[in-house]
Copies of this chain bind each other. A is one copy, B any other.
């Protein structure tokens, strides 16, 4: 009935797709509906309004596109830019690399600012480049908020400050795939022009909605952007928004109801509490890694990610073997090292609808696996370090006090 069933729960600690809360699974457990009936627009209206809160924007316009993160990227780029436009993009890991690849294949003229994998975006280089660009030939800055391959979080407030200091008009396009709804993210305050994420990340839904939010400036840019686009064209959405029917083509009824439930849960917990929970889980994970005597792939504390931790393991061990054993023996799903860090790191995703005891179960599994593969870990050491911190910081569950 399942492929490769194992006893008990699967411990899902890849950085996406993530665990779906039961109330969301329930909400999606339904037959199709006519998306042209009055019910679906009524539902959609609430979603568009509430999704803005997740992006922390009041002036942005959200699009719920039936696609993945890769499609959301394409939507952000093709709606705001024209072929051969000059853009600046940061390379620091596999996902920023893939986005840059897409930018190039879409025929933009990409200035890549590369960092060592494990380091954050080189914002000094950005400042120089922008300072030199007196003619404002740079049309957009593309930055991944949280590089999922290395667990690096970039400082978007600084990016905005650099742009503001230089009064540079470039659009700021942000991949918030593994950040929005988990890390501190402020679309309006940080002057982000296009922000995007995927439903299967911190929103804790199945894959299938690319959530893209456009600032008024981005919408304005879309009027003159010459990139060819149809499926991803915001304009089709805007026409249907005006008509009040919302959908230029068929959405997933199940995901709309699922998104409603996901947002309800987030608001019930409180978005700030959700972010604080991710902060706790991130810190606990890093404390465990430290206790195991292992290195975090992320080189400086300022870039530490609260949604994913890439753990570097000694050269004599193949990190893929760790991921394989996690799956084969412990029903634990960990993330592989990708590309440059393949075999060198494994990744623990700690985002979405997750609590502390789930994480500690995962960490205890990692300890056993490390021992399995010959790394001399002291069993219990990571859990001890993490729980020493957590025991002091977990709040009471509001609905249960």
Question: Could you tell me which A residues sit within 8 Å of B by CB distance?
Answer: 1-12, 14, 16-23, 25-40, 42-43, 66-71, 73-74, 83, 102, 105-107, 198, 200, 206-208, 227-233, 248-255, 261, 264-265, 268-269, 274, 277, 327-333, 335-336, 353-362, 364-365, 367-368, 371-372, 378-381, 383-385, 387-388, 390-391, 394-397, 399-401
Contact = CB atoms under 8 A, between A and B. Distances in A.
B357 A383 contact: no
Given A250-B207, A357-B331, A358-B9, A19 B31 contact: yes
A186 to B, nearest CB: 22
A269 B7 contact: yes
A282 to B, nearest CB: 15
A72 B367 CA distance: 43
Contacts of A388: 379
B399 A6 contact: yes
A380 B379 CA distance: 9
A12 B358 CA distance: 12
A3 to B, nearest CB: 4
A26 B30 contact: yes
B2 A23 contact: yes
A400 B357 contact: no
A321 B245 CA distance: 17
B396 A328 contact: yes
A368 B280 CA distance: 15
Given A28-B29, A68-B249, A367-B387, 18 more contacts: A3-B39, A5-B265, A9-B9, A12-B32, A17-B32, A28-B28, A32-B206, A34-B333, A73-B231, A105-B229, A105-B233, A198-B250, A206-B252, A357-B364, A358-B361, A359-B361, A378-B384, A380-B381
Contact of A208 (B2, B30, B208, B274): B208
Q: How many copies does the complex hold?
A: 4
Contacts of A74: 230-231
Contacts of A20: 31-32
Nearest to A359: B361
Given A4-B39, A9-B19, A70-B248, A384 B380 contact: yes
Contacts of A11: 357-358
Residue among A17, A28, A230 with most chain B CB within 10 A: A230
A265 to B, nearest CB: 7
A268 B39 CA distance: 16
5 contacts: A5-B23, A5-B268, A9-B19, A11-B358, A67-B67
A241 B207 CA distance: 20
A400 B4 contact: yes
